[in-house]
Amino acid sequence: MSVFIRNKRYTGPLQGAILDWAGTAVDYGCMGPADVFLKVFNEININVTVAEARQFMGLMKKDHIRGMCNLPSVVAQWVSQHGRKPDESDVEKLYERTESLMVGAIADNAELIPGVHEAVQGMRDRALSIGSCTGYTTSMMDVLVPIAKEKGYSPDAVVCSSDVPAGRPYPWMCYLLAMKMDIHPMESMVKIGDTLSDIQEGLNAGMWTIGLTKSGNELGLTEAEVNALDLTDLHSRLKAIEANYSEVGSHYIVEGIWDCLPIIDDINNRLAKGEHPMDQLGK
């Protein structure tokens, strides 16, 4: 097998796509995880908003809890109730409860997002391997992967945050997937996700990135809720999400997985010209 050596620009096609799970491939609106984080904090009489619960979505779940515990509103309530700030032992207790609730939430929110079948088949037709990574742990994915397979979605490789030293925005899950799928170089892969940390992960891994605005965490609405929105309101919200993706450096921004095949073709054209994912980033 001929192995690419980095003494020149890679000009071959994309070899792999790495998809996030909730909000990208399943669970339109990323509703399951958000509901769990709200419940976990409400159970201990700490009030958090939906926006606060979603702020750290995409991270390893323990990192998500840790981030929420550092929010000024949470710290203030914690000090009022306990006379101190939340510490790592509190994070551990909250995480234990989160993990137990998350398994049920995952099973209840495992419907495939419209367009997943067509997008994945189109990628396979273009000779791409399909990898997936997630902030979920192995025990959580042991529930979701079989359900998704029954519904017709089965990636070639699955990596969880618990499989690597650290989750997003570190690139380790993408690196492990590249090894599992025998793909090199990293610029021959594209990361597709619905959170800012998905994009940061892909950028850190040296990959192309596609941010999804409509189906996932950043909008945070079910498909029915999206369809019921006033179009002007929806457009305004999506524009704000696009701006956030642009700020973190996403190469492409689309509404959902259903829009990704033309992007795959465009990336292939750019690669053939010797373009690299880092080319568009500022110095």
Q: What is the mean pLDDT of residues 199-219?
A: 97
Task: Please name which of 177, 266, 229, 198 lies closest in space to residue 22, comparing C-alpha atoms.
Answer: 198
d(CA 23, CA 20): 8
Q: What is the mean pLDDT of residues 185-206?
A: 97
- Contacts of residue 70, defined as CB under 8 A and 6 or more positions apart, other chains included, come to none
- Give the pLDDT confidence score for residue 59 in this predicted structure: 87
Q: What is the mean pLDDT of residues 250-271?
A: 98
- Give the pLDDT confidence score for residue 95 in this predicted structure: 94
- Give the pLDDT confidence score for residue 60 in this predicted structure: 86
pLDDT (tens digit per residue) in 89-126? 999 999 999 998 998 899 999 999 999 999 999 999 99
Q: What is the separation, in whole angstroms, between the first and last Cα of the chain?
A: 35
pLDDT band at 149 (very low <50, low <70, confident <90, very high): very high
268, with CB counted inside 10 A (0-12, 13-18, 19+), is: middle
Catalytic site residues?
20, 61
User: Would you say 36 and 105 are in contact if contact means Cβ atoms under 8 Å apart?
Assistant: yes
- Model confidence at 163: pLDDT above 70: yes
> 16-31+111-280: CATH homologous superfamily?
HAD superfamily/HAD-like (3.40.50.1000)
CATH 1.10.150.240 domain position(s) in the chain: 32-108
Cα 199–chain centre separation: 8
User: Would you say 226 and 214 are in contact if contact means Cβ atoms under 8 Å apart?
Assistant: yes
User: Would you say 120 and 153 are in contact if contact means Cβ atoms under 8 Å apart?
Assistant: yes
Q: What is the mean pLDDT of residues 239-243?
A: 98
N residues, the chain? 283
- Give the pLDDT confidence score for residue 147 in this predicted structure: 96
pLDDT band at 282 (very low <50, low <70, confident <90, very high): low
- What average pLDDT does the structure give for the chain? 95
Task: Tell me the pairing of strands 16-19 and 129-134.
Answer: parallel
Q: Which CATH class is domain 32-108?
A: mainly alpha
- Give the pLDDT confidence score for residue 1 in this predicted structure: 55
d(CA 107, CA 148): 10
Torsion, Cα of 109, 115, 118, 119 (10° steps): -90
- Contacts of residue 82, defined as CB under 8 A and 6 or more positions apart, other chains included, come to none
Q: What is the mean pLDDT of residues 137-147?
A: 93
- Model confidence at 247: pLDDT above 60: yes
CATH 3.40.50.1000 domain position(s) in the chain: 16-31+111-280
- Model confidence at 283: pLDDT above 50: no
Query: Phi and psi at residue 212, in whole multiples of 5°?
Result: -105, 125
pLDDT (tens digit per residue) in 33-75? 999 999 999 999 999 999 999 999 888 889 999 999 999 999 9
